[in-house]
Amino acid sequence: MRDKKEVEKVAVIKCKNYNKKEIDRAIKKTLKLLDFPIEKYKNKKILIKPNVLGYYEKNLEAIITNISIVKSLLKIFKNAKIGESSFTDTENNLKKTKYWNLTPRPIVLEEQEFIKVNNKKAKILKNFYLPKIIKEVDLIINVPKLKTHTLTKITGAIKNLYGCIPGGMKQVLHKKARGGEKFSSLLVDVYQNLEHKLKLNIMDAVIGMEGEGPSAGKPKKVGLILASRNAIALDIVAAKLMGFKASEIWAIKEAVDRKLYPNFKVKIVGDFKKIQNLKFKKPIPERRTLVRAVLRRLVRENPIIVNKERCIKCGLCRCIKCGLCARKCPVKAITLKPYPEIDKRKCIRCFCCIEVCPQHALYLKKTSIRKLIGKMRKRRA
């Protein structure tokens, strides 16, 4: 295992589109810059873990890892397999996103045999289950997507490993770790169990997502491939690219606090000497300090249905009453009447409903007080 006291290299490579030649060039360049020992894994068991959150008719190119990157990796790591567990209906998502057509066919992780994982060092997940194949492989190639995230602020290399947790278990864990900070600690628990196998991380930052990610935000053209042999280092660069301080991201801070990485510094290699600030539109932040707790009910945002009244009048609503949000809510705070209605007393603001909605019919609405605070901050800036 590499020395955790080392500041790791992060390759930042220009990649203007998903053209096969452009992707192949960028991937080969990152591996060379990272001095990655490809030959060492020639006869080893390898699992490629992309981010296939789900299938969405709108903005799919900004939501999931583009298949061209995985195809490029399969040409280099010929013995690799692909594994994923979406929040819902993994096989169908893989089929609709064309991943199912790849050779070898992707492994649906929730359909595999599970093994129990015990981790005394964990803060939340002392015991949990993982697909057996995750523990059997010699190398996990983590292929996340550059996106903001309504709950955890960013979704990156650490967060992408949550996709190793089998299907419906994700709902249970959201209930166990309420709020962005606690949930981020849970993510680091998962990472801590996999870091010894996680020796290559390549992020799709050709087209990212800003705003209400990971699925309901807006596409952001970035034109980059990011890569590192360390997931935390990669997330530090991703956070800075989006305009965050690395120390603001709970998962990164938690990892540094646990001494899984020495600090918030990295060594940039590739096409840039410094990390650019691309000023992504931020998601509505999760506030959890004691001072704000008194005012939380006045300023907190809750998921609402887009154009519910307009739908009744003129059929312009995005909601198709599929009920997926209600089925995936970990605390059963949503009922269909016939449109989704959210019980604010039960809602734990995990935002799973927003994440899984195939029509992007749910979003966060700012309260009047939150809007006033925002205007006051802009005047001071």
Residues 44 and 188 in one domain: yes
Whether residue 39 is contained in a domain is answered as yes
- Coil vs helix vs strand at 301: coil
Domain limit, last residue, from 270, 302, 331: 270
Rounded Cα distance between 369 and 381, Å, is 19
Entry pTM = 0.84
248 and 325 assigned to the same domain: no
The Cα–Cα gap between 151 and 179 comes to: 7
Paired strand residues for 363: 304
Residue of 26, 12, 24, 49 lying closest to 270 (CA atoms): 12
Residue 199 lies in a domain: yes
90 in the same domain as 160: yes
| Residues 126 and 238 grouped into a single domain | yes
Q: Are residues 62 and 196 in the same domain?
A: yes
**Predicted pLDDT of residue 305:** 59
| pLDDT recorded at residue 94 | 98
The CATH number of whichever domain residue 17 belongs to comes to: 3.40.50.11440
Domain match, 197 and 335 both: no
pLDDT number for residue 1: 52
Tokens of 109: 């992780």
Give dist(CA 297, CA 5) in Å, integer. 43
Domain assignment present for residue 282? The answer is no
In a shared domain, residues 133 and 215: yes
pLDDT value, residue 269: 98
Peptide linkage before 303 cis (omega within 30 of 0): no
Q: Which domain holds residue 367?
A: 290-380
* pLDDT at res. 289: 40
pLDDT for position 313? 29
Strand-strand pairing, 362-365 and 127-131: unpaired
pLDDT at 358 (0 to 100): 85
> Cα separation of 14 and 221, whole Å?
12
Query: Does 207 lie in the same domain as 173?
Result: yes
Sign of CA pseudo-dihedral 137, 143, 148, 153: positive
What pLDDT score was predicted for residue 328?
82
Residue 149 lies in a domain: yes
277 in a structural domain: no
Tell whether 218 is covered by a domain.
yes
CATH code of the domain in which 335 resides: 3.30.70.20
Does one domain contain both 220 and 119? yes
Residues of the chain with pLDDT under 70: 1-4, 285-316, 365-381
Tokens 């935002």 belong to: 351
For 15, 17, 32, 109, 267, the CA distances from 270, given in Å and listed in that order, are 12, 17, 10, 34, 10
Amino acid 176 reads K
Could you please report the per-residue DSSP string of 32-59?
HHTT--GGGGTTS-EEEEE------SSS
In Å, how far are 12, 58, 341 from 162, measured between CA atoms? 24, 23, 28
Domain identity same for 61 and 190: yes
Exposure class string for 232-248: b at 16+ Cβ within 10 A, else e: bbbbbbbbbbbbbebee
Residues 173/165, Cβ–Cβ less than 8 Å: yes
Per the structure, the count of domains in the chain is 2
Residue 20 included in any domain: yes
- DSSP letter string over 249-286? SHHHHHHHHTTSSSSS--EEEES-SS-----PPPPPPP
* 304 beta partners: 363
pLDDT of residue 242: 98
Residues 190 and 297 in one domain: no
226 CB neighbour count, 10 Å cutoff = 28
Q: Are 34 and 76 in contact (CB under 8 A)?
A: no
1 domain-assigned: no
Residues 249 and 130 in one domain: yes
H-helix or E-strand spanning residue 131: strand 127-131
- Angle made by CA atoms 301, 306, 308, in degrees to the nearest 5: 115
Among 240, 270, 300, which residue terminates a domain? 270
Rounded Cα distance between 278 and 13, Å, is 15
Q: Alpha carbon of 232 to those of 200, 245, 252, 261: distances in Å?
A: 11, 14, 6, 7
- Find residue 342's DSSP bridge partners: 334
